Structure 1
Amino acid sequence: METNAFSEIFPLFDFASADTLEWLLSVVEEQDYPKDTVLITEDNWGKAVFFVVSGWIKIRYSSREQQVTLDILSRGDCFGEMAVLDEAPRLTEVVALSDVELVSISAQRFIQMLYKEPQLHHRMLQLTVKRVRQSYRRFLLSQYSAKVRLVKTLIALAENYGQSTERGTEILYIPDSDLADLAGINEEETGKILESIHHKGWIEIDKSHQTLALSNLKQLNHLVKQL
């Protein structure tokens, strides 16, 4: 991968020098995983930092009693950096929601890179603040109806990761159980709401290609405010 392409995919490296990017690309490892692969278990955090080149992943809490999806990430995101910077135990794992292409850098080299490029410290702080803000917004969803929660969740995924197509802004057709966890509603409600907003023309679902398209993000944001 060329340095320009890498910094274009990952805004974290917008201000990294050409030398740092060249060094980074010389030490990263490229990895491809099929759908449903468990990429990291709770015992394997802190060994490397991962960058999503393509595909979709979910971060979930898993125990004997339950599995709960906490977040969904896609192209341009990274994960594992907090486990490298903070060695506290993690109770989560990472699972591929689709075929996934990653690049990874070892924990030692990631720390070395932060010392090599001080500007990245600021970018890492911005990333952390962004994630805290997203968590806060998700917490605020509890005041809305189930339909608004789900539509707002779809809008957030589309705004962060969607691709513009003739059908609208396209994202992965994410399993109802994962969407339900993110929206804070139950799986049965999720299925019914998806069917309802599909009939209204707000979204288009293509199960054969595992995609979901939001027909008009501006209109959806407007409609959500009226519900």
Structure 2
Amino acid sequence: MDNTIGLPQRANPVLVKQATIFAGLPEKLIEDFQQEFQLHEWQKDDYINSNILTKRFFVVMSGQLEIKQSNADTGKEATLDMLYAGDCLDLMVLLDDQPHDIIISPLNTVKLLSVKLETMRQWLWTYPAFNKQFMPYLAKKMREKEQQVSNLALHDVTTRLGRIILEHINKIKFYTGREEEAHHHHLINGLTDETLARMTGSVRQVVNKQLQLWKQADIIDKKRNQLIIKDLEALEREAKYTQDLSNTPLAKS
């Protein structure tokens, strides 16, 4: 099912302010902006035609999107990006106005705001306050791409896989269990071995073997498409990870 055509629902200012790139803008500007937005809801396994990205600019409000490319000859797929609440789709088309041949894959129910692409460009050109708020997000995504390339070139699969899991935790900030154990048990849903392999630049068998080793070491617990991180510090050591997650807030399950 292709759910990319604009739905009749319109966004209200409260909803628009929930999007990171709009949150700090003056109320009057947000009220003006919200009149241009439409609401969308994509379900897991929906077919989303990437041609819509040449017409509309999307901001993820909730859920997760995997952005992929595939080799038609081999069938091999690679994950280009994983989008979470607050992320934008698609920066490349916004900047160069060229089609972007990607596969848009919702991993669960995804809710989005969209606006005409040309309107989004006009906002960036016309409103310095919006441009100033948008640029740090653009820089953040560029740094993420730099880190992704660096990880692929400089680190082994164990390190890359550990970093991907930790980055996922850092972005979704979803912990499960008792509050006093908030920094020991972290729940990850929906990332299959195949998805993790695409994100890692490896294959499912190698990823599964590493996950099983971590399970045997009591670092994680693995049940179907669910990972429970039991020893965050051990996983950070495996990933050679330096970013501190200790201040990330607990979310009740």
**The one of 78, 103, 127 aligned to 2:88:** 78
**The one of 178, 182, 185 aligned to 2:195:** 178
Q: CA deviation at 1:24?
A: 2.5
* C-alpha distance 47-120 of structure 1, shift in aligned 2 (>3 A): same
* C-alpha distance 50-171 of structure 1, shift in aligned 2 (>3 A): farther
Q: Give percent identity, aligned residues only.
A: 21
Q: CA deviation at 1:101?
A: 1.2
* C-alpha distance 14-181 of structure 1, shift in aligned 2 (>3 A): same
CA distance in 1, matches of 2:22, 2:59: 12
Corresponding letter in the other structure for 1:19: K
**The one of 192, 195, 202 aligned to 2:212:** 195
Q: CA deviation at 1:206?
A: 4.3
SS at match of 1:124: helix
CA distance in 1, matches of 2:55, 2:136: 22
CA distance in 1, matches of 2:33, 2:226: 33
Q: CA deviation at 1:79?
A: 0.9
CA distance in 1, matches of 2:232, 2:212: 18
SS at match of 1:11: coil
Aligned residues: 222
Match of 1:15 in 2: 24
- The answer to whether structure 1 residue 48 and structure 2 residue 24 are counterparts is no
**The one of 107, 110, 119 aligned to 2:120:** 110
- Structure 2 residue runs without a partner (length 5+): 1-10, 178-183, 242-253
Asked whether the 8 Å contact 1:205–1:211 carries over to 2, the reply is yes
**The one of 209, 214, 222 aligned to 2:229:** 214
Corresponding letter in the other structure for 2:198: D
Q: CA deviation at 1:149?
A: 1.2
* C-alpha distance 170-13 of structure 1, shift in aligned 2 (>3 A): farther
Asked whether the 8 Å contact 1:50–1:80 carries over to 2, the reply is yes
Q: Between Structure 1 and Structure 2, which shows a larger proportion of helix residues?
A: 1
Asked whether the 8 Å contact 1:58–1:94 carries over to 2, the reply is yes
- Structure 1 residue runs without a partner (length 5+): none
Corresponding letter in the other structure for 1:75: A
Q: Between Structure 1 and Structure 2, which shows a larger proportion of strand residues?
A: 1
TM-score (norm 1): 0.85
